[in-house]
Amino acid sequence: MEIFVIKRGILVMLSAAWILSACNRSSPPLPPDVEQVGDGVYLFQSSTHRSLFLVTNDGVIVTDPLNADAAADYRSAIAAVTDQPVKFVVYSHYHWDRVSGADVFTAEGAQIIAQERCAQRFRDNPNPAVVMPDITFENEYQVSLGGKSLDLFYFGPSHGDCLTVFLARPANLIQIVDLVEPPHTSFPDNPNVPYVRPHNLREFFAQVQTLTEENGVTQVLASHIKRVDNGNDEPQPSPATAPVTIIADQARFWNEIYAAVETARAEKNIGIDSFVKLKTIDLEPFESFDGYRKEDLPVIMRRFVGFYDMGR
Ligand SMILES: [Zn+2]
């Protein structure tokens, strides 16, 4: 416990020092749709989305353009922060709500980077709004500019088949788009969880855990923005960061799903319709997750029943 408190103390001091040094710089005020979260690291906001961009003395690395309208705003927001050109656009995964509209960046010469399975998905299921990648990678790739980098890691299917984990250096901030969402661990909005890949989700989180431990990562960046009602005044925008422990907490949700389905199979508590019988589920492990809905648990678990029974 003491170690935890000391660590928190160091964290608080570090962030206070960083804010002071940031304030001392005579930079223009940020536009309302941009937040600075670390050394050269910014989040652009559009509607309910946040996208990370990294500003260096040798150009800008952009992630997830979202859509054509958002990308035009994104470009203007970057121009309010720096005169540097955008040199790279990195896609986090293949879902169109994150990766449409990169034309505004390629028009100025930016190259698109994506994991190779994302590129395959765009070939198999093309969308004219999605610009094809120029550069693909298999497991790891470092996008390096001006002494900073955005390091890309592919740990197998998780949220879709090609979700790429972002690690911004030297700020040492991690972002796991659409799967780990500050400020709280979450219960799935869509109980059918069509994006989840049960055959690799445990392995994915284990590898993310190793990555964060080996690099001493302490903070996770949001990829969404929502209004948080704190009981007084107007609902506030959700914070841009959360402690890295949110990753292990989110992994625990999925591990509890696997465990509950394994138990249900062993005890023959799964109906012919592949639904785990709700009254046999121990609800306690799930109740603390943001957005918890008891009645959705059998639907979420059905996806995992299919994995165990059919390998899908
Ligand atoms: Zn997604």
Where are the extended beta strands (E) located within 14-84?
A: 34-38, 41-46, 49-56, 59-63
CA of residue 279 to ligand 1 center, whole Å? 31
How many whole angstroms separate alpha carbon 159 and alpha carbon 277? Answer: 26
CA atoms in the 13 A half-sphere facing the CB of 29: 3
CA of residue 192 to ligand 1 center, whole Å? 14
CA of residue 93 to ligand 1 center, whole Å? 7
User: Nearest CA to 261 among 312, 294, 298?
Assistant: 298
CA of residue 250 to ligand 1 center, whole Å? 16
CA of residue 115 to ligand 1 center, whole Å? 14
In the prediction, which pLDDT does 184 show?
85
The tens place of each residue's pLDDT in the chain, 312 residues long, gives 333 333 444 444 444 444 445 544 556 789 999 999 999 999 999 999 999 999 999 999 999 999 999 999 999 999 999 999 999 999 999 999 999 999 999 999 999 999 999 999 999 999 999 999 999 999 999 999 999 999 999 999 999 999 999 999 999 999 999 999 998 888 999 999 999 999 999 999 999 999 999 999 999 999 999 877 767 677 688 999 999 999 999 999 999 999 999 999 999 999 999 999 999 999 999 999 989 999 999 999 999 998 888 887
CA of residue 159 to ligand 1 center, whole Å? 6
CA of residue 196 to ligand 1 center, whole Å? 10
* CATH architecture of the domain with range 28-232: 4-Layer Sandwich (3.60)
CA of residue 96 to ligand 1 center, whole Å? 8
In the prediction, which pLDDT does 4 show?
36
In the prediction, which pLDDT does 295 show?
95
Q: What is the DSSP string of 234-248?
A: SPEEPPSEEETHHHH
In the prediction, which pLDDT does 121 show?
97
CA of residue 18 to ligand 1 center, whole Å? 32
How many whole angstroms separate alpha carbon 276 and alpha carbon 290? Answer: 22
CA of residue 29 to ligand 1 center, whole Å? 31
In the prediction, which pLDDT does 312 show?
75
CA of residue 220 to ligand 1 center, whole Å? 17
CA of residue 20 to ligand 1 center, whole Å? 36
Cis status, amide bond into 170, omega within 30 of 0? yes
In the prediction, which pLDDT does 26 show?
55
CA of residue 160 to ligand 1 center, whole Å? 7
CA of residue 55 to ligand 1 center, whole Å? 25
CA of residue 178 to ligand 1 center, whole Å? 5
CA of residue 260 to ligand 1 center, whole Å? 25
Q: Do the Cβ atoms of 162 and 267 come closer than 8 Å?
A: no
In the prediction, which pLDDT does 1 show?
34
CA of residue 99 to ligand 1 center, whole Å? 10
- Class of residue 227 by CB neighbours under 10 A (exposed 0-12, middle 13-18, buried 19+): exposed
Where in the chain are the domains?
28-232
